[in-house]
Amino acid sequence: MRAVPAALSKAGAGRYASGGMTPVQFLEYYGAIAGALAALIVSLDLGRRATGIGFVIFVTSSLALVAWGLLGAESAGIGWQNVVLFVINCIGVYRYLIRKKRPGVEGREAMA
């Protein structure tokens, strides 16, 4: 087994020494990476379908971060924040993937 540098935290030391990652750590990293990817997709404004897929990825990110937040000792705040974000992201999935657009209405341009 490799020696663990003293500068590593307790959680980092466990991951480093075992050569792997715990399920809780996986949830944390998946949630962060999926959230960043979803934000990129939504920000590119590639159309309704792509934006809807971005919101689906946001939903999976929120679920992972809720689980991580509620399972971790010091991350409950992130967990509860992502409960709210989960609801918001589900609204995005509904709006962009499930709801049918009204005929002849092209969003805000139609209101002008």
**How does DSSP assign 31-96, residue by residue?**
HHHHHHHHHHHHHTT--HHHHHHHHHHHHHHHHHHHHHHHHSSS-HHHHHHHHHHHHHHHHHHIII
Containing structural domain, residue 29:
20-98
Can you tell me the mean pLDDT for 1-13?
Answer: 45
Q: Is residue 105 part of a domain?
A: no
pLDDT tens-digit readout, 25-68: 999 999 999 999 999 999 999 999 999 999 999 999 999 999 99
Tell whether 3 is covered by a domain. no
Domain count, the chain: 1
Tell me, yes or no, if the pTM score tops 0.85: no
State the pLDDT at residue 72: 84
